[in-house]
């Protein structure tokens, strides 16, 4: 009889052990969960780590800004990737405004002489940052983050690609198409 009661008691031990306070799930502890509560604004004049401060009020004020990011092969490659993600849907894969939506929204060709010769790098950066009539802003002009935001450096990489790589890529794509 004694053996049966010992066996019965030992079989109930896991149930008793699970009832102790140390067995509570970590998920149920007092804490702030992701997406819970209001997001606090960033402190005034704060700069993201690794970021570049910009003191530009609007697109027009960005016309004379000098590009702080050198147009290296790495920068142009980074800009190419970002261009394909954010810009190609409207401006086309080669920047020729030949995507299905280009004509509907009035997207301009970025590989033409006007953009390549007349528009400054600062103007392109300002257009990416603040948007234009149809184009949305891909910067953070009002201090509010969105899902399409590019940081300051990423926007300069896109400018480097538009000014130093887009025309070459468009010519290579035309050559490839003509060879087929």
**Contact assessment for residue 141 and residue 39, using Cβ atoms and an 8 Å cutoff:** no
Q: Which residue has the higher pLDDT, 91 or 33?
A: 91
Residue 18: pLDDT band by 50, 70, 90 thresholds? low
Which pLDDT score, from 0 to 100, does residue 162 have? 94
Tell me, yes or no, if the pTM score tops 0.75: no
Closest CA to 77 of 154, 137, 138: 154
**Contact assessment for residue 91 and residue 158, using Cβ atoms and an 8 Å cutoff:** no
Residue 83: pLDDT over 90:
yes
Mean per-residue pLDDT of the chain: 80
**Segment 51-62 mean pLDDT:** 74
Residue 32: pLDDT over 70:
no
Which pLDDT score, from 0 to 100, does residue 72 have? 95
The full set of domains in the chain, from first to last, is: 67-179 (1.10.760.10)
Residue 156: pLDDT band by 50, 70, 90 thresholds? very high
22 vs 177: CA distance, rounded Å = 67
Query: How many C-beta atoms surround the C-beta of residue 30 within 10 A?
Result: 4
Residue 163: pLDDT band by 50, 70, 90 thresholds? very high
User: What secondary structure letter does DSSP report for 121?
Assistant: H
Tokens describing residue 46: 């704060």
Task: Please list the alpha-helical segments (H only) found in the chain.
Answer: 2-18, 73-82, 88-91, 102-105, 113, 121-130, 152-164, 166-179
Residue 71: pLDDT over 90:
yes
**Contact assessment for residue 137 and residue 130, using Cβ atoms and an 8 Å cutoff:** yes
Which pLDDT score, from 0 to 100, does residue 81 have? 95
Longest dimension (CA), the chain: 99
Give the total residue count for the chain: 180
């Amino acid at each position: 009889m004694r053996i049966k009661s010992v066996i019965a008691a030992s079989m109930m031990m896991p149930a008793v052990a699970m009832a102790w306070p140390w067995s509570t799930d970590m998920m149920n502890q007092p804490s702030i969960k992701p997406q819970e509560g209001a997001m606090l604004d960033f402190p005034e004049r704060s700069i993201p780590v690794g970021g570049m401060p910009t003191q530009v009020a609007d697109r027009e004020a960005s016309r004379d800004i000098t590009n702080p990011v050198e147009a290296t092969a790495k920068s142009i490659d980074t800009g190419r990737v970002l261009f394909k993600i954010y810009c190609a849907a409207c401006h086309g894969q080669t920047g020729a405004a030949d995507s299905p939506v280009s004509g509907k929204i009035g997207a301009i060709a970025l590989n033409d002489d006007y953009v390549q010769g007349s528009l400054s790098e600062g103007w392109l950066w300002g257009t990416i940052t603040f948007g234009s009539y149809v184009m949305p802003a891909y910067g953070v002009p009002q201090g509010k983050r969105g899902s399409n935001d590019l940081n300051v450096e990423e926007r300069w990489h896109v400018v480097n690609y538009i000014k130093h790589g887009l025309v070459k890529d468009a010519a290579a794509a035309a050559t490839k198409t003509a060879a087929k």
